[in-house]
Structure 1
Amino acid sequence: MTSTAVRLTAVRRRYRDVTALDGVDLAIRAGTFTAIMGPSGSGKSTLLQCAAGLERPTSGTVEVGGTELTGLSERRLTLLRRDRIGFVFQSFNLLPSLTAAQNVALPLRLAGRRPSRTEVGDALGRVGLGDRARHRPGELSGGQQQRVALARALVTRPAVLFGDEPTGALDTTTSREVLALLRELVDGEGQTTVMVTHDPVAAAHADRVVFLVDGRVADEVLAPDAGEVARRMAGLESGCGEAVAR
């Protein structure tokens, strides 16, 4: 049986008078690609941040790889994020003065490790940039910069890779190249991936699309195609708040 990589149980997250997550139950199987979608303000990014240990839920529990995050001290939570979780965001967040290889090595250096050329080279090779190790961000295209950011997230061999609109700043062609790479990492290496997106085409690269409305799981699609995802999103955004029939 495939194990559960991420589990949220009765997760609530409140900000003063606003409830961002309202009792979310969600299990994500290891080695799968899950997309999270929903109307603006539905709680997508908050769910991602709670699942990745960037925020603590107001109540409920979050587990990553069988470890419950909600009971960890700040130090242990920091160590778990560093060693077990990878992040890719819409903005590449690369340091412009460093080469691609130096940017990829940063998480290891921050962990007090001396990165080897082999592990940094392997990470760049996994994203198809083995020949760009000495290039600085300004010498790379937007898609190549996002690939460097992805290699940086993968260099620690994380249990789960989280992406928050990772293709949001890319053109259509480059976006599809990065999505194809994410799909390849799941299929070829079993890399568990969870991605927030607003794009039905991006979501169609996933194994499963989970839809949020008002901080609750409202619907899901397995083996999605872009048309079906767009249709369900349109139904949710129209205010029905219910699953749209196939």
Structure 2
Amino acid sequence: MTTTAVRMRSLRRDYGAVAALDGVDLDLAAGTFTAVMGPSGSGKSTLLQCAAGLDRPTSGTVAVDGVELAGLSERRLTLLRRERIGFVFQSFNLLPSLTAAQNVALPLRLARRRPARGAVREALDRVGLGDRAGHRPSQLSGGQQQRVALARALITRPAVLFGDEPTGALDTTTSREVLSLLRELVDREGQTTVMVTHDPVAASYADRVVFLVDGRVSGELAGPSAEAVAARMAGLERVTC
């Protein structure tokens, strides 16, 4: 039976008089890859940040891996993010003075946990960089740096991996390599993944694309092709112009 990894109900996030999210109801199934798309200002990144516990909604509820976020103190929310949530940004956010292995181990170090023997190398192996453990970011390509960031997000074995334009800073070839890796993690390991993207080709790697317009869900596509996603986005952008 399919379980729900992320559950959002009546989710609203206001910034002053502007509603970035306006009553979102959305379930994200465990073991699936979901892409979130929409015109500029549609609330995509806000949705991701609220779902990942990085921002608190004005009203409504979010549950991740069965845990309601609204009732958690800041300390408990921080612990949940460290242990059950992974996040990959467009910018790699690696510390330049640390090696790949040290960057991957950083979340555990910050939580004052000693990495299990071989855990860091295993995380790097999962993203195809086991032989780059001793390299610093300046010695790695952009795609390799994003793979290190991905390994860092995966080191805690999160229930959900969130990505905010994770391939936005990469060239086309490297972007496809990272997307193929994300797809493989879902297929091989059942890693629940949620990604905001503006790229129809990137979205085509997902099982499902959810479209937002003006902070509201405006339809979805299952088993999407890049062409179908591009056509839907073109229609949404005409409506919002």
Structure 1 partner of 2:73: 73
Structure 1 partner of 2:63: 63
Structure 2 partner of 1:103: 103
Query: In the alignment, residue 184 of structure 2 is paired with which amino acid?
Result: E
Alignment of 1:67-146 (within 5 A): 67-146=67-146
After TM superposition, the score normalised by the length of structure 2 is 0.99
Structure 2 partner of 1:207: 207
Alignment of 1:166-177 (within 5 A): 166-177=166-177
Identity of aligned residues (%): 80
Alignment of 1:1-246 (within 5 A): 1-239=1-239
Deviations 1:111-139 (CA, angstroms, capped at 9, x unpaired): 10112440000000000000000000000
Deviations 1:166-223 (CA, angstroms, capped at 9, x unpaired): 0000000000000000000000000000000000000000000000000000010000
CA distance in 1, matches of 2:72, 2:117: 33
CA distance in 1, matches of 2:123, 2:117: 10
CA distance in 2, matches of 1:122, 1:193: 19
CA distance in 2, matches of 1:234, 1:240: 10
CA distance in 2, matches of 1:192, 1:13: 24
CA root-mean-square deviation: 0.9
Query: In the alignment, residue 112 of structure 1 is paired with which amino acid?
Result: R
SS at match of 1:187: helix
Deviations 1:5-49 (CA, angstroms, capped at 9, x unpaired): 000000000011110000000000000000000000000000000
- Residue range with higher mean Cα deviation, 87-96 or 109-118: 109-118
SS at match of 2:130: coil
- Residue range with higher mean Cα deviation, 199-208 or 231-240: 231-240
Query: In the alignment, residue 46 of structure 2 is paired with which amino acid?
Result: T
Query: In the alignment, residue 127 of structure 1 is paired with which amino acid?
Result: V
Count the aligned residue pairs: 241
Structure 2 gaps of 5+ residues are none
SS at match of 1:98: coil
CA distance in 2, matches of 1:229, 1:43: 18
SS at match of 2:131: coil
Deviations 1:90-129 (CA, angstroms, capped at 9, x unpaired): 0000011110000000000001011244000000000000
CA distance in 1, matches of 2:109, 2:240: 49
Structure 1 gaps of 5+ residues are 242-246
CA distance in 1, matches of 2:108, 2:123: 12
Deviations 1:40-99 (CA, angstroms, capped at 9, x unpaired): 000000000000001111110000011000111111111000100000000000011110
CA distance in 1, matches of 2:116, 2:54: 28
CA distance in 2, matches of 1:160, 1:96: 27
TM-superposed deviation, 1:240: 6.1
